[in-house]
Amino acid sequence: MLKENIYRSHNTSMINENLVGNSIRVAGWVDTIRDHGGISFLDLRDHFGTLQIVFESASMLNGIKKEQTVSISGQIRMRDKTTFNEKIATGTVELVAKDIKVLGDVIEQLPFEVNSNEEIREELRLKYRYLDLRGKALHDRIILRSKIISHLRALMQKNGFTEITTPILTASSPEGARDYLVPSRKHKGKFYALPQAPQIFKQILMVSGFDRYFQIAPCFRDEDARADRAPGEFYQLDFEMSFATQEDVLTLAEEVLYDTFKTFSTLEVSKPPFKRFTYAEAMLNFGSDKPDLRNPLRIKDLSEFFNKCTFKPFQNSCVRAIKVEKGASLSKKFHADMLEFATSIGMGGLGYITVNDDMTYKGPIDKFIPDQQKVELKEIMNLKANDLLFFIADDEVNASKYAGQIRTELGEKLNLIDKSKFEFCYIVDFPMYELDDNGNWAFTHNPFSMPQGGLKALNEKRPDEILAYQYDIVCNGVELSSGAVRNHEVETMIKAFEIAGYSREILETKFTSLYTAFKFGAPPHAGMAPGIDRIIMLLTNQNNIREVIAFPMNKSAQDTMMGAPSEVTEQQLREIHIKIR
């Protein structure tokens, strides 16, 4: 009980049948008012729940409006059994009001109804976020977010990790997304940057002798918004381990994520060890390095097969195929819709054949497959009567990408995706390098990753043959985290950056801290950083990441509630040596 509080003696979480006959005082927001002819009812809402309050004199509610904050005293009594409300925790009792006092008035018309069933424009919700956050669904998600973060923190501490906060004002990095820059007042013409991630700091902590580090880390990137990416800032469970291998990190992440998803969801969660696919396997079988394993469709490579056929558009191309079991009876409209989708993503068309009851084929490509090869096709694709086979042909990069998109679209259209589970997997063995738009070698992932084979591989292999100790964790098609075994050897780092076009001088200048620290006995170390916002988005079954963040920016990276970004005064600009151009 809250003692000597002039506004309330109880909150709604404390109220139950044990208080029947007691006089108490409660405080909160006016949720609804109902007049039943002489007797009126008011639902009071606070952080913890809702309580029905009875006013035996309707005049007591004169001047009372929805969303006012009020303090009400009265006596708890049992409700009539016919009016029990199982939807709320206090549904068997009610408060008979003796007095009501307005603590915070509503002096303007509400821009929208709190807890309304009507669709409210997101821009309006974000501008009046304090009203939006009063709504039960969003309010509960923010409370759940707090519980999930506390759970993650406890799991990391249980596993011997030390929580250490790293700086927000730091140096700009030439890698990754755009930085948010902060001009320095004391150092004219120089800038801090907000950290895109605590990458450098956490590696230096390992060099500093800390065995296991973690933090719930804020990260800042000047990126455009997506449904699963908030513009500006996001949070991640950032962790690093000394004297650790890739296997150590993956095992730890499995334990933490499995425990968290089991604790906060009733859905089935894939048990450790999570399935693993190399990057090459993922791109071949799923057309994506973020595969949704709930979709049972798989992609097969038929390039070699079609080089023996007479269909010229498929010869000397990369050809991928997707089998839909019992799909031969799908309508013409379905095929028309799939063709429309295929052209919308840039494909020239979408070939297909169906399998008849007698195991003959039908479709526009059938006549280009010699009879002796139809048996081979049946064996490769494990075809059965009434199956449907789609073909995607292009260069290897596009064929893989398009096949992945067709697989996802088929899964959605045919309701093949099992929404009752969380399916985790790891993607491992990423290529260390790729060619950029100018034909030069560039890092595909984190530039501080250890190449598989170390310095020997960098010296003896072609860049496109070198794999890295880099890994992603994916759940239901959503990338939750990237991670890597770090390159802690100075000579190996110099060579790795040299292949990507960075001289030793650039490495010394742009990455001074790591480059210098690694000269003084750096331990092997590895880590990753699962995204907090995406974890909560999955656990609450939300399609928009802004639905799990208390104060998100809108799609245009604006905070319309606070009016950010905003103009500043000329004096402020002069103090930081800035002139608007």
Q: State the pLDDT at residue 364.
A: 85
* Residue 529 in this model has a pLDDT that exceeds 90: yes
32-67, pLDDT tens digit by residue? Answer: 999 887 799 999 999 999 999 999 988 899 999 999
Q: State the pLDDT at residue 3.
A: 62
- Three-state DSSP at 118 gives coil
396-408, pLDDT tens digit by residue? Answer: 999 999 999 999 9
Per the structure block, which two tokens stand in for 544?
């928009």
Give the span between the Cα atoms of 579 and 581, in whole angstroms. Answer: 6
Give the span between the Cα atoms of 110 and 112, in whole angstroms. Answer: 5
Q: Locate tokens 């997997």: which residue? A: 425
Other CB atoms within 10 Å distance of the CB of residue 220: 18
Confidence of residue 230 (pLDDT cuts 50, 70, 90): confident
List 269's β-bridge partners, or say none: 422
Q: What is the DSSP string of 83-102?
A: G--TTSTTTTEEEEEEEEEE
Q: State the pLDDT at residue 174.
A: 65
List 229's β-bridge partners, or say none: 226
Does the bond joining 565 to the residue before it have cis omega, within 30 degrees of 0? yes
> Which helix (H) or strand (E) segment is 207 a member of?
helix 199-207
Beta strands 50-55; 93-104: pairing state: parallel
Which part of the chain has CATH 3.30.1360.30? 295-417
Give the span between the Cα atoms of 267 and 421, in whole angstroms. Answer: 5
Instruction: Give residues with Cβ within 8 angstroms of 261, minimum separation 6.
Output: 267, 269, 422, 475, 538, 539
Assigned CATH class of 12-104: mainly beta
The fold for domain 295-417 equals Gyrase A; domain 2 (3.30.1360)
Model confidence, pTM? 0.93
Nearest to 199 by CA among 238, 242, 249: 238
Q: State the pLDDT at residue 37.
A: 77
Instruction: Give residues with Cβ within 8 angstroms of 38, minimum separation 6.
Output: 58
Alpha-carbon distance values, 383 to 70, 254, 281, 369, 400 (Å): 69, 36, 22, 15, 22
Residues 465-481: what's their mean pLDDT?
A: 97
* Residue 228 in this model has a pLDDT that exceeds 70: yes
CB 100, CB 65: distance < 8 Å: no
Which part of the chain has CATH 2.40.50.140? 12-104
Give the span between the Cα atoms of 415 and 330, in whole angstroms. Answer: 13
Q: State the pLDDT at residue 445.
A: 84
**Amino acid identity for residue 8 in this structure:** R
Give the N- to C-terminal CA distance of the chain in Å, as an integer.
Answer: 60
Give the span between the Cα atoms of 506 and 443, in whole angstroms. Answer: 15
Q: Locate tokens 């040596």: which residue? A: 577
* Residue 2 in this model has a pLDDT that exceeds 50: no
Alpha-carbon distance values, 337 to 351, 408, 427 (Å): 13, 14, 32
Give the span between the Cα atoms of 55 and 496, in whole angstroms. Answer: 75
Q: Locate tokens 């008849």: which residue? A: 356
List 361's β-bridge partners, or say none: 355
- Ranges of beta strands (E only) in 159-242 are 162-163, 181-183, 191-193, 212-221, 232-242
**Amino acid identity for residue 263 in this structure:** T
Confidence of residue 368 (pLDDT cuts 50, 70, 90): confident
Confidence of residue 371 (pLDDT cuts 50, 70, 90): confident
